[in-house]
Amino acid sequence: MEFKKIISFCALLLVAPALFAQSEKYHMLVGTYTSPGKSEGIYVYEFDSQNGEISYKSKVILESPSYFAVSPDRKFVYSVTEGKESKINALAFDPQSGDLKLLNSQPSGSNGPTHISVDAKRKYVFASNYGGGSITALPIDANGTLGPDIQDIKHQGSSIARKKPFVHSAVVSPDNKYVLTADLGTDKINIYRFNAKKRPLALSAAAQPFLTLDPGAGPRHSTFHPNKKFFYAVTEINSRVYAFNYKKGHLTQIQSVSMIPEGFTGPGHGSDIHISADGKFLYASTRSTVNEIGIYSIDQKTGMLSLVAKQPSFGKSSRTFEIDPSGNWLLSTSQVTNEIIVFKRDKESGKLTPTGQKLQIDKPSLVKFVKMD
């Protein structure tokens, strides 16, 4: 009898970690547009990865923090102010309570910052100024605040669809040595070498300074594959996903796939792009008149994409979406219908299933998950 109890106890010990992993909870941070509207800044919720439930915790009041980035150590959040003022904000973040506190702000260098990223060593943030057509590098001091010595690089050029540059996003390479920007106005992916020690001129043109996409493509957001060998970009104007081989700051295009239905003539407005943590699936969204999330399987050897399914996003103008750290859920922001829509994600097939769960919030623009302490 005692032997059976020991066996049962041991079996419970083996199963328990999986049970606890399934019910892990995360901080869920939501960026918003505050004017015009009812939202007031960045909101913090608790997200349960077992059932997808969301509960409110706190907020910090900021003007239109439409995009933000969380530092790798989870101690700081850096947000844009995409409103009457164009600035970048540094906020202290408590990984235990989820509380946010504004530390300082600096000018963004140009008008209309719409995206921000932070390097792996928390030395710099990179703000993409859509209105000003520039990429700005802002140094981070040891205490997490933003330094005043800003580098602002104005892009040059135009395309058949736009008459001037519109820098929409910037991502840091996996080795932390390059910054790649998506310029919607010039149809280019610009590539910069990054060296934090060269403050305040941390960015310089790479050996391959840019790669040009199809005329009128309008690159918007991009992401690296977890294996660090592939790079993908979603375009807003021609609504396509572009796939590239990547090596030491060099890009070579390998594929381009359309996100809109065959024969469709209206705007698709490609918006966001993410890859599952296991690297098996790529997700890319459209907004405006199509409003779908495309699901693509990724060939692990070649990086090529194959369409798995297209899931209606239901909300209108889904600016961004995010996959939670457990990989079980995908949350899509709906800027026009004022809600965040929760989908269940199948890890094996990559497909999404609507859950009916929604978070009502005015003009949501971004969702990010942060592990709790």
Question: Is 50 exceeded by the pLDDT of residue 20?
Answer: no
Specify burial of residue 275 (Cβ count, 10 A radius: 0-12, 13-18, 19+): buried
Q: What's the topology of domain 25-354+361-371?
A: Methylamine Dehydrogenase; Chain H (2.130.10)
Q: List the single range of 1-15, 41-55, 120-134, 150-164 with lowest mean pLDDT.
A: 1-15
* Percentage, residues of the chain above pLDDT 90: 87
Model confidence pLDDT, tens digit, residues 347-371: 999 999 999 999 999 999 999 999 9
Domain boundaries, the chain: 25-354+361-371
- CB-based contact 339:270 (threshold 8 Å): no
- Rounded Cα distance between 364 and 373, Å, is 26
**Residue 262, pLDDT score:** 84
**Residue 18, pLDDT score:** 45
Query: How large is the average pLDDT for residues 133-142?
Result: 98
Residue 139 banded pLDDT, cuts 50, 70, 90: very high
- CB-based contact 331:320 (threshold 8 Å): no
Specify burial of residue 189 (Cβ count, 10 A radius: 0-12, 13-18, 19+): buried
**Residue 15, pLDDT score:** 44
Question: Is 50 exceeded by the pLDDT of residue 13?
Answer: no
Q: What is the mean pLDDT of the chain?
A: 93
Model confidence pLDDT, tens digit, residues 297-351: 999 999 999 999 999 999 888 899 999 999 999 999 999 999 999 999 999 999 9
- Rounded Cα distance between 271 and 273, Å, is 7
Q: List the single range of 8-17, 23-32, 111-120, 302-311 with lowest mean pLDDT.
A: 8-17
Order of strands, edge to edge, in the sheet holding 41-48? 54-61, 41-48, 25-32, 364-371
- CB-based contact 194:119 (threshold 8 Å): yes
Question: Which of helix, strand or coil describes residue 214?
Answer: coil
Model's pTM, two decimal places? 0.93
Structure tokens at 43: 């909101």
Residues whose CB is less than 8 angstroms from the CB of residue 126 and which lie 6 or more positions away in sequence, other chains included:
116, 117, 118, 119, 135, 136, 137, 138, 170, 172, 179, 203
Higher pLDDT, 16 or 24: 24
